[in-house]
């Protein structure tokens, strides 16, 4: 009888021992390891999302910049286009930021006017008008009849940061959005030899022979790709002879908004005659 009791007691202890689960310490260690693993997974996910966002923004800016460069290059190359050879002026340079009507009768077109609609941007944005006889309008449609009538195409940045082409048919083509700066310089031939620029100026005088146009466009990404401010408060961007400071005021660029930016620039030779009248 005693032996049976002892055997039963040993069996109960064995069953009780086999039924024991994890201790509290073991559970805490497991939870801690699981938390570390989960944090690592979340960090990798966030990093991948950020990398994807940056790649998408870079791709979008590149595509946008190439398109802007192509449109401006083609537009400026046609400045002064004429099948009759009677077009005296090829460009008009608009200085200042006040909206005002400027008569194109100075270039020989009777009754035509364009309006200086550019917001100015505190010096961030330049503006220019090209004159031509025939050729394509701002939509790229070549339906202006060739002849003596002078047409114009006006390039400026509006108050919504769109780079705009407006023409004498009242077409308004928004070439690109998110344009933070549009700067122009003009190549001047001082020697009169072979039409080569000796220097570039922002405000040429009427007696200077303009043979080329150099432009720069700063485009920013649509979305913020970083929550950290990677630029110091005194960061500036140099565009030709202009320097633009960090900030949100007039003539400033907010470099600390987490968006990507890139500057695209090119130089266009003016192939047609009559470059010295503004």
- Are 105 and 111 contacting, i.e. CB atoms less than 8 angstroms apart? yes
The pairing of strands 163-167 and 101-103 is unpaired
Beta strands, E only, 25-149: 91-93, 101-103, 113-115, 128-132
Helix-, strand-, coil-residue percentages of the chain, each rounded to 5: 30, 30, 45
In this predicted structure, what is the pLDDT of residue 272? 74
Say if residues 245 and 233 touch (Cβ distance below 8 Å).
no
Residue ranges covered by each domain of the chain:
47-269
DSSP labels, 131-166: EESSB--TTS---BPPSS--EEEEEEE-TTS-EEEE
**Where does the pLDDT of residue 147 fall: very low under 50, low under 70, confident under 90, or very high at 90 and above?**
low
Highest mean pLDDT among 56-65, 68-77, 202-211, 265-274: 68-77
Nearest-5° angle of CA 20, CA 21, CA 22? 135
Tens digits of per-residue pLDDT, 68-113?
A: 999 999 999 888 877 766 566 677 776 544 333 333 333 334 334 4
Neighbours of 27 (CB within 10 A): 11
Entry pTM: 0.74
Burial of 220 from C-beta contacts in 10 A (0-12 / 13-18 / 19+): buried
Residues 179-223: pLDDT tens digits? 999 999 989 888 877 678 889 988 887 778 888 899 999 999 888
Give me the pLDDT at residue 181, please: 93
Residue 234 has pLDDT above 90, yes or no: no
**Is residue 133 a contact partner of residue 78, using CB atoms and an 8 Å limit?**
no
* Residue 67 parent element (H or E): helix 24-77
């Amino acid at each position: 009888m005693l032996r049976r009791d002892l055997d039963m007691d040993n069996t109960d202890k064995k069953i009780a021992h086999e039924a024991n689960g994890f201790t509290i310490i073991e559970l805490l260690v497991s939870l801690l390891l699981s938390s570390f693993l989960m944090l690592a997974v979340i960090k990798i996910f966030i990093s991948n999302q950020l990398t994807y966002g940056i790649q998408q923004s870079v791709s979008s800016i590149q595509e946008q910049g190439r398109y802007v460069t192509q449109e401006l290059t083609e537009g400026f190359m046609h400045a002064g286009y004429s099948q009759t050879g009677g077009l005296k002026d090829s460009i008009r340079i608009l200085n200042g930021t006040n909206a005002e009507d400027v008569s194109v009768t100075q270039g020989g077109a009777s009754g035509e006017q364009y309006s200086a609609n550019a917001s100015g941007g505190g010096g961030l944005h330049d503006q220019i008008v090209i004159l031509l006889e025939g050729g394509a309008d701002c939509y790229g449609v070549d339906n202006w009849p060739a002849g003596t009538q002078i047409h114009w195409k006006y390039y400026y940045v509006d108050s919504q940061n769109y780079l705009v082409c407006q023409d004498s048919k009242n077409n308004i083509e928004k070439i690109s959005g998110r344009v933070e700066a549009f700067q122009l310089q003009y190549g001047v031939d001082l020697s009169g030899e072979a039409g080569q620029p000796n220097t570039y100026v922002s405000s040429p005088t009427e007696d200077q022979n303009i043979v080329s146009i150099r432009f720069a466009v700063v485009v920013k990404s649509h979305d913020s790709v970083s929550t950290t401010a990677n630029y110091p408060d005194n960061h500036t961007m140099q565009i030709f002879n202009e320097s633009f400071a960090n900030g949100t005021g007039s003539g400033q660029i907010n470099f600390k908004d987490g968006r990507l930016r890139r500057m695209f620039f090119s130089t266009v030779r003016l192939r047609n005659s009559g470059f010295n009248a503004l």
